[in-house]
Structure 1
């Protein structure tokens, strides 16, 4: 019997928990505040930020969405980041990617204070992850780890193949799973024989953003499949990287798309904003975020 790893249900439980946490923080006059900055008119970014806004307000956090025009210069964006860095009411901030091509995402990552970097992209925070001493990490990998734990899927000793090596998902996830004693292989577009790696995986994670990348022929019987991809098919339907219907009876557990990893990314963003708010106010996050 195949288990559906339901990120939507898991995230709903977490959001309910966070609502209680934010209420408790209000009792000591701490209000976590998330600020998201968008530049230009990227439609997908608007959808993603809207989801973050809805969830933040639902749990009682403060939320600001700052919209800057496409013509914003690097200096103007840097000044906006500087102001948010210095604002003691701001717990965490995100500059939503992608940015217009004349702006440097690398520079933006470096300018956000590590203590407010709720996306976990600052080089300091990445270095802490490498050292297995991370405070904040990229939200999608963190959400995947949370989902695995919620479904009692232990990475320790498992062969794990990640398809995709982005700094947002693949690379930080490989570090998290290595720290949990998984034996991790990272594949990518230059991998010569993808199936040779995926067929050996006890846990297969696909994060390439291309529908149909993983078929039943890529998997061994009983594998756990985490599908990070989200793709819009010509029919308008959303699909992951994995041929869900084709592989369903072959695997032991799988995330659906939508309703799998996506909602967990937003939930982890809320958690990290709360965590940053605690640390900025000299509160122990475990006193508020400790949970099963």
Structure 2
């Protein structure tokens, strides 16, 4: 069987293009209307991975000209204190987006905290109001990683109408909203999960295959339909023989080459789009809260 010349989807380049548009629009809104979008990021505790992610978010928020408000709270913070901070941020007119970094320490109900965020400022799109809007196909704030995946697919394929999309994974962070976004884009959608019998047989049917399980190397080359577009959301750090570490995805990348028509590498695929989409959501939220006729749409 002849092999396919697999195209790598450059998430870094797509994210850079999106970020440049956001930066230009932020500068225009400030110059013409005095509007500067503001993003508040709340970190509770000292999870190392979360701390790195929050630093990246804070740096990139400032780099596009937005205001960045970082709130680092001790692990002993009570649920009541966290909810009180969210309430203050909800009422702050300089804050247009609020993100509470997950996971939260034991004893804090993450669902309760996420639902306490004003839906207009819920730039992570994880509160029930925005989840409902996505489900109904209404305008709203969409979870950043699925939104980034959708943007990559549209940039690569154009219209997704009529394509069969298979999503492996059903988490509230990625799998469920991804399936809904693809359905809203007029795909025929199959969702596979841990209890699916013979997941590989479903995966092979997908013109689009999105994998978001957190299980490194789950999807082998023979799971992929020849010519399919593969979006690998998984990212896991593993040790190497040299005593160092490297990042791998949920798809066995080397096996996918020559079978997939397009694929996102790990790293450098979906990851860069997540923070870019957070900035896009913050800009979108600021425009909508401003309510001016020049507020525009999610052009960025």
- Does 1:4 pair with 2:8? yes
Once residues 124 and 25 of structure 2 are traced to their aligned partners in structure 1, the CA distance between those partners, rounded to angstroms, is: 20
What is the deviation of 1:287? Answer: 3.4
What is the deviation of 1:62? Answer: 0.5
Once residues 265 and 294 of structure 2 are traced to their aligned partners in structure 1, the CA distance between those partners, rounded to angstroms, is: 31
Equivalence for 2:124? 119
> Alignment partner for residue 256 of structure 1, among 256, 265, 287?
265
> Alignment partner for residue 271 of structure 1, among 271, 276, 280?
280
What is the deviation of 1:152? Answer: 2.5
Distance change >3 Å, CA 175–CA 286, structure 1 → 2:
farther
Equivalence for 1:201? 206
Contact 2:287–2:296 (Cα < 8 Å) also in 1: no
Distance change >3 Å, CA 285–CA 255, structure 1 → 2:
farther
Equivalence for 2:80? 75
For this pair of structures, how many residues does the alignment match?
291
Structure 1 segments, 4+ long, off by >2 Å, are 152-155, 283-291
> Alignment partner for residue 29 of structure 2, among 1, 25, 30?
25
What is the deviation of 1:288? Answer: 6.9
Any unmatched runs of 5+ in structure 2? none
- Does 1:137 pair with 2:137? no
CA deviations on 1:171-195 (whole Å, 9 max, x unpaired) are 0111110011101111111111111
- Does 1:65 pair with 2:70? yes
Secondary structure at 1:147's aligned position in 2? helix
Equivalence for 1:282? 291
What is the deviation of 1:134? Answer: 2.7
Secondary structure at 1:269's aligned position in 2? helix
Any unmatched runs of 5+ in structure 1? none
Contact 1:85–1:116 (Cα < 8 Å) also in 2: yes
